[in-house]
Amino acid sequence: MALSGRDIIGQAKTGTGKTLGFGVPLLQRLHRPGGNLPQALVICPTRELASQVASDLQIAGKDLGVRVLAVYGGRAIEPQIDSLKKGIDVIVGTPGRIMDLAGRRDLDLGSVRVLVMDEADEMLDMGFLPDVERIVALLPTERQTMLFSATMPGQIVNLARRYMTQPTHIRASDPNDQNATVDSIEQHVWRAHPMDKLELVARIMQADGRGLAMIFTRTKRKAQKIYDDLTERGFAVGTVHGDLGQGAREQALRAFRSGKIDILVATDVAARGIDVDGVTHVINFECPEDEKAYLHRVGRTGRAGNSGVAVTLVDWEDVARWQMIDRALQLPFKDPLETYSTSAHVYTGLGIPTDTTGRLARKDQTRAGLDAEHIEDLGGRQPKPPAPSRDRKPQKSSSGARNGSSTRKSSDKPSGDKPSGDSRAQKLQGKSRPRKRTKAVTSEQ
């Protein structure tokens, strides 16, 4: 149906190959690759997903001579503009950078024949919707539109129809399969104490057969804290969250994919669409916000027919939130089992040696680590600062000092320096200050 040019709303479980589900028809429908203007546009909610989709399409379209460009923030815009001037067939990017390039008239979307929204439920959420509407307004009305996601609520489907022409909603699942997640994921949901979580996670990370692992948190600060703590315990860890620069985020993902680190701590920026081979364990350090976040997080494991383990740690105050997720997904974990780092079911259920401690033994610290992966320089052309004019008089700063001059504390003055020009003694040119005499006041007065 996609090859015939029909508008499609595609829904399938995480890890079942949605990228190639829209990527192959998109590449086949390109008309004479090698023109000046892009013919296809793929919009993604995160930078990491945009980079991954562009890489997948580049590999799939290599023999066809298709030119693919990823455009997203955090990277210098000038190299992207240079690539657009040379000619690009497929643009993959985030809404913000696409709007920047279109606003500068460096990106012409007038020849786009295929529009794809990956993780469409997130793209049509209120946070992205205004930018998406402005981008769609720049596209030709006669085009093919495809929306793909693992979760597609009814209100999102109704909203999506505004941008589509008689779309077909396709769900790729077994009619007899009522599970929201793939069967190959072994799920555990435990009620854990916040003070014991890091110790518990450190022991889970030493389970037999554990490959790569991802740990998800709700906040950037918590992600950084877990990264610091696990690093101190001897694990090879990286982190991805919004407080990091794009170079550091991509460094962590490259190190994770190459095996230089085997644990990635992340916020939900890495929960949607990121595909890394060999992820065997996913840890929800805190209860996810909703059932959609849960599905996308645990979907980082058990991909392409592989098996995986997902562990969710629920705080006491989040039990009600978890029960809503459990009810929405029809899971059998309404009342999470109270669990500590010393609980017997942790060791037996996940295959953890009974003598495991909260620190990784030195003999097991064999990974190269995050520092073994270089940080790519993503900076663009930096404008040169204007040369100071000799004709301009120095202006006073808010502190009263003139620009270009430095102030020095009295304790920092070199020996032999004259008093400051603002001192009273210098103003009087060495003259002593006249003393004022006052009459003594006696009790008789």
| pLDDT, position 360 | 96
Residue 90 pLDDT > 50: yes
Contacts for 180 with CB less than 8 Å, ≥ 6 apart: 13, 291, 295, 329, 330
| pLDDT, position 163 | 86
Are both 145 and 288 inside the same structural domain? no
| pLDDT, position 175 | 55
Are both 235 and 156 inside the same structural domain? no
243 within 8 A of 220, measured Cβ to Cβ: yes
Q: Is residue 133 part of a domain?
A: yes
Tokens of 259: 């095996």
| pLDDT, position 423 | 42
The residue among 283 and 178 whose pLDDT is bigger is: 283
pLDDT tens-digit map of 59-68: 999 889 999 9
Cα distances from 303 to residues 45, 200, 292, 371, in angstroms, run 21, 25, 17, 28
Residue 392 pLDDT > 80: no
The lowest-confidence range among 216-220, 277-281, 320-324, 391-395 is: 391-395
Q: Is residue 88 part of a domain?
A: yes
Opening angle at CA 186, ends 348 and 284, nearest 5: 90
Are both 192 and 262 inside the same structural domain? yes
Domain boundary at 172, 202, 222, which? 172
Are both 190 and 87 inside the same structural domain? no
Nearest to 248 by CA among 261, 229, 230: 261
Are both 203 and 64 inside the same structural domain? no
Give the domain range for residue 129. 8-172
The structure tokens 């663009």 sit at 380
Long-range CB contacts for residues 317-324, cutoff 8 Å, separation at least 24: 318/286, 318/287, 319/191, 321/287, 321/289, 322/189, 322/287, 324/290, 324/291
pTM of the model as a whole: 0.78
Phi, psi of 63 (to 5 degrees): -70, -15
Q: Could you tell me the pLDDT band of residue 435, with boundaries at 50, 70 and 90? A: low
Contacts for 350 with CB less than 8 Å, ≥ 6 apart: 188, 204, 207, 309, 311
Q: Is residue 42 part of a domain?
A: yes
As a whole number of angstroms, the distance between CA 36 and CA 30 comes to 13
Are both 275 and 340 inside the same structural domain? yes
73 within 8 A of 97, measured Cβ to Cβ: yes
| Total structural domains within the chain | 2
Contacts for 253 with CB less than 8 Å, ≥ 6 apart: 48, 238, 240, 264, 270, 274, 276
Q: Is residue 324 part of a domain?
A: yes
CATH of the domain at 98: 3.40.50.300
Q: Is residue 92 part of a domain?
A: yes
Domain boundary at 150, 172, 194, which? 172
Are both 210 and 355 inside the same structural domain? yes
11 within 8 A of 119, measured Cβ to Cβ: no
Q: What is the percent of the chain with per-residue pLDDT over 70, rounded to a whole number?
A: 83
Q: Is residue 420 part of a domain?
A: no
| pLDDT, position 55 | 94
Are both 101 and 129 inside the same structural domain? yes
Q: Considering only CA atoms, give the Rg of the chain.
A: 30
Domain boundary at 141, 172, 203, which? 172
As a whole number of angstroms, the distance between CA 62 and CA 68 comes to 10
As a whole number of angstroms, the distance between CA 78 and CA 85 comes to 11
Are both 310 and 231 inside the same structural domain? yes
Q: Is residue 381 part of a domain?
A: no
Are both 81 and 213 inside the same structural domain? no
Are both 156 and 197 inside the same structural domain? no
The residue among 99 and 416 whose pLDDT is bigger is: 99
pLDDT tens-digit map of 304-313: 778 999 999 9
Residue 377 pLDDT > 70: yes
| Terminal alpha carbon distance of the chain | 111
Nearest to 336 by CA among 349, 352, 323, 350: 323
Are both 128 and 210 inside the same structural domain? no
Cα distances from 227 to residues 201, 236, 298, 361, 366, in angstroms, run 12, 9, 20, 18, 18
Q: Is residue 145 part of a domain?
A: yes
